[in-house]
Structure 1
Amino acid sequence: MDKSEASAAILSDAEKDGVRTIPLRAISHVVVVGRPRITMPCVLALIERNIPVYFCKRTGDLLLAAHPAQGQWNMWAEQASAVQNTSVCLHLAQQTLSAKVHNQGIVLRRLGETRAIKEMFSLRDTIADTPCINSLRGIEGTAARLYWESVTQFLPEWVCFTGRKKRPSPDPVNALLSYGYTLLHNHISTKLQCAGLHPKLGFMHAGYGSHHAFASDMQEEFRHIVDSMVFSMFRRKEVRPEHLIWEKDALRPCLLRNSLLRTVTRNFEKRILTLQGSEQSCAAVVLDRQVGCCKQTLLRGVPYVGWRLLK
């Protein structure tokens, strides 16, 4: 690392790009994923320049945040006040769930489904005029039923998928979805904390214990990333019976072997870091942008617009 004030920079030894020099003035924060090498002098130099450093697992789960010795209590207080405002929460929930249902419809279209899409989009269009979050959840549930019923025909018969079921996962599709959603949730939670927001102060999901309700809220419009990844893995036959542990009448009847977990983690990383189809930005960039937009909605009252897939 070049420590001179005039030309302070980080030397990045990236596998594909070789050594790159990144000026510190161009960095807002640093996220260290997995086990890359970063020296303590580099971390301290970043902190001295008010650049926080976050360390997380490959799963996106935040382990440690190293930031300047200054609290974010004012921002958290503003966030807490905003999520008590019914109109703010309703606006965010409408935009988030409208984007979620829209994206589910686009996923079905890309799979080749045509029958359910019209009804999905009709449900989407009613969300803007829905007056309360409880009613929104009803629309979300109806759309989810249509979505998962339609998805079944595109999955192999041996997986025995009959719909979305969470705890426990009775089949490999549900097990893969649950693990993928956990990866997504972790990454969003880390991004929220990088933005200085409190991950437990959500606008739609109820907070309890250590649950990061805000990450669960933000996750809704991005679930299609995991759905598409899982469907693609079955289409490419990356998932086979030998990758699974089946235990009838057990608390967890279908488990994923470690080799498959590693494959899912690797596929998820690739999917959020690369452009997909006709999209103009990779999902990781969009996640950062949407977190920033949500922050502006909560703290400044700027209208939020959910992320919708292109046709």
Structure 2
Amino acid sequence: MDTLYINHKNACLTIHQGRLVVGQADASQTFSLELLKRVVIGTTVDLNSSVVHCLVAKGIGLHFQSSRLNTTPVSVMAEPVANVCRRQGQYYCIANKELSFRLARALVRYKLTRQSLWLKSINQAELSDKMSAILTSLNQISPDKGLLLNLEGQGAKQVYRAMQLILPASLEFTGRNRRPPLDPVNALLSLGATGLYQQAILSLCSRGLDCYAGVFHAPCHGRASLACDLTDCFRPELEAFVVDLFIRNIINKSHFFWRKKVECVLNREGQRIWYPLWYRFSKQVEKKMGVTTLKWALGAEGWIRSPH
């Protein structure tokens, strides 16, 4: 396994003879740095700057996640690949209003098409037909990001409606909510989206792209907007993955607790089940992200070398 998830509170992280040592009160485990690609920390741990420096120097992404309200996920990684032509091309695409809209519409079309296929696969014909109508409208709208956002939102409503119809009523899922997630389904959707977002940052930076300069998500202080664009491409797969876990009763309501009677969070048993399954899912997504970001990078570079 090339990804290490740490959820043991107050674990102590050190480096010893080329291995990452995760020490706890009663035991310690070691992991070869040569095999690791990323370390994901979901709780309070003890580590110093030398550990951070060692991990980053070896190209190992260090990610901090938290289910707590208003806590932003943080990623620490090496300097991104310095490909000036790709970034110049990326900025050219964003600055060109017509081209930027075409790219953003293509991204939304891809997402809605994937969601439409999922609706068909679960025999939600009526909602699938509504999604098809949204896709038709998508091809006819004028270059207006506001209209694009509206259609993307309409598509999401069809997906969440389908989820309400097929998920157990005991989960109390009534639609998307976050910060904090109020029910088990939203808790996993938020946790998964955070994981995809951090994967997207790594994938984009490895291709020499600016993960903060997006085409659908407008540039915003403190947000990796292009990583949000890339994450959106894989939300349909995340939604299907989460729904499948609940439908097959692999994860259920007993695997969660409510912090301060509001915020829904995975408990220890839930984490034990979730992370191995998430790892397998995320590895599949990682390969697809690699293909997508390579296409984006070569496309951006092409625009600056031979602008149309």
TM > 0.5 fold call: yes
Corresponding position of 2:124? 113
**Cα offset for 1:74?**
5.1
Distance 1:63 1:109, change over 3 A: same
Equivalent residues of 1:226, 1:268 under 8 A apart: no
Corresponding position of 1:267? 277
State the alpha-carbon separation in 2 of the partners of residues 53 and 75 from structure 1. Answer: 24
Percent identical: 21
Cα deviation per residue 1:121-151 (whole Å; 9 max; x = unaligned)?
A: 1211322332222111111111111221122
Distance 1:31 1:296, change over 3 A: farther
Cα deviation per residue 1:27-74 (whole Å; 9 max; x = unaligned)?
A: xxx982349xxxxxxxxxxxxxxxx9631248897532267xx84455
Corresponding position of 1:257? 267
Distance 1:31 1:98, change over 3 A: farther
> Is 1:228 matched with 2:226?
no
State the alpha-carbon separation in 1 of the partners of residues 225 and 162 from structure 2. Answer: 29
Which residue, out of 199, 202, 224, partners 2:214? Answer: 202
State the alpha-carbon separation in 2 of the partners of residues 224 and 287 from structure 1. Answer: 14
Cα deviation per residue 1:183-217 (whole Å; 9 max; x = unaligned)?
A: 11111111000101111111121333321111001
Count of aligned pairs: 246
State the alpha-carbon separation in 2 of the partners of residues 121 and 272 from structure 1. Answer: 28
* Greater Cα offset, 85-94 or 123-132: 123-132
> Is 1:101 matched with 2:122?
no
State the alpha-carbon separation in 1 of the partners of residues 101 and 299 from structure 2. Answer: 12
Amino acid at match of 1:189: I
The DSSP-based 3-state class of the residue aligned with 1:65 is: coil
Q: Give the TM-score taking structure 1 as reference length.
A: 0.71
State the alpha-carbon separation in 2 of the partners of residues 296 and 53 from structure 1. Answer: 26
State the alpha-carbon separation in 2 of the partners of residues 119 and 199 from structure 1. Answer: 33
Q: Give the TM-score taking structure 2 as reference length.
A: 0.71
Corresponding position of 2:181? 169
The DSSP-based 3-state class of the residue aligned with 1:129 is: coil
Cα deviation per residue 1:211-247 (whole Å; 9 max; x = unaligned)?
A: 1111001111210121111111102212233311124
Structure 2's unaligned 5+ residue stretches are 1-34, 41-56, 66-73
Equivalent residues of 2:209, 2:297 under 8 A apart: yes
Corresponding position of 1:277? none
